Amino acid sequence: AFDVLVIGGGPAGASAAIYAARKGIRTGVAAERFGGQVLDTMAIENFISVQETEGPKLARALEEHVKQYEVDIMNLQRASGLIPAKGEGELHEVRFESGASLKAKTVILSTGARWREMNVPGEQEYRGRGVAYCPHCDGPLFKGKRVAVIGGGNSGVEAAIDLAGIVAHVTLIEFDDKLRADAVLQKKLGSLPNVTVIRSALTTEVKGDGQKVTGLAYKDRTTDQLRIVDLEGIFVQIGLLPNSEWLKGVVELSPRGEIIVDAKGQTNIHGVFAAGDVTTVPYKQIVIAVGEGAKASLSAFDHLIRTT
Ligand code: FAD
């Protein structure tokens, strides 16, 4: 059995594995796709101390760093269930879709999250070429340009306020006839001179010239008319879905499906920790996931020296 079994091989999982292995304890990482969301990222400019890198390059660096240590890496393994230890001294079990199962004294859950997509023509084609999901990451790439933000919830309105300080113009597009963001955010948004809000609008297509985004088509839901907005970037802010479906009913989740953790990364189950985008920790970023992974791992070690 493992002392620490990490589920998920993104920045949080890689960091957790390295911190555990450096304690000289038996460590394993099982991941569906080692590298995680980083693999889908183009330019990364906010991983502090690395001025500029690309997703696949950083993913490779994460894996190479983990491989410097005695860590069992089990790639292409999708976890399907967690069976918590029955009592003190017993082991937790993680089951996989492949039929395999692994046992461990402590488990660190770091299965990350995925952005909810619009599922309209052009979205996939222009992903990373104008279609973006993270304003903290990609906002500066659109300096002086025109962008749209899709979604009028808190994250959409926050993104629009944030981007308005960087880009030339922001069009916020909301499906409903009103925004759902907190009143204080809506007030701030309304005070900005370079933001236009369009309500009752269904985005129907991302337009491009074959190279990059050139505009967006939406249907005005009050008149059924199709309209086009010319722009260079589209930030999709319609939700971040934590990869926690497989833990429902076992680990305590927030209403949004995020694993609830305390300041030490501990879940409601003794000996089960969590880190990164799959948790309630705010601001989903690589630098944060890496820090949270380290923290969860140190907590797991702390737990081990007290219980075994
Ligand atoms: P993830 O990176 O999501 O990794 C999750 C891991 O768990 C993966 O290995 C996955 O395969 C695995 N997994 C999921 N479900 C299971 C399962 N059931 N069983 C086994 N394994 C499973 N952040 C920045 O800081 N800067 C940026 O420039 C930046 N740009 C981004 C651009 C894009 C397009 C995207 C999508 C995200 C970007 N982010 C950026 C966010 C950043 O990628 C995430 O915050 C970070 O990757 C989270 O790390 P994580 O380890 O928590 O989860």
Tokens read off for 40: 């889908």
pLDDT tens per residue across span 194-253: 999 999 999 999 999 999 999 999 999 999 999 999 999 999 999 999 999 999 999 999
Task: Name the strand (E) or helix (H) holding 178.
Answer: none
pLDDT tens per residue across span 46-93: 999 999 999 999 999 999 999 999 999 999 999 999 999 999 889 999
Q: Active-site positions? A: 134, 137-138
**ipTM score of complex:** 0.99
Distance, CA of 129 to CA of 121 (rounded, Å): 14
Q: From 6, 39, 41, 287, give the residue whose CB has the most ligand 1 atoms within 8 Å, as the site to mutate.
A: 41
Q: How far is the CA of 112 from the centre of ligand 1 (A)?
A: 5
Which pLDDT band, with edges at 50, 70 and 90, does 257 fall under? Answer: very high
Structural contact between residues 262 and 178, judged by C-beta atoms closer than 8 angstroms:
no
Is the CB–ligand 1 distance for residue 285 below 6 Å?
yes
List the beta strands (DSSP E) in 84-165. 92-96, 101-109, 113-115, 131-132, 146-150
Provide the sign of the torsion angle of the four alpha carbons 268, 274, 278, 282, taken in this order. Answer: positive
**The model's pTM:** 0.94
Structural contact between residues 62 and 11, judged by C-beta atoms closer than 8 angstroms:
yes
Residue 42 has pLDDT above 90, yes or no: no
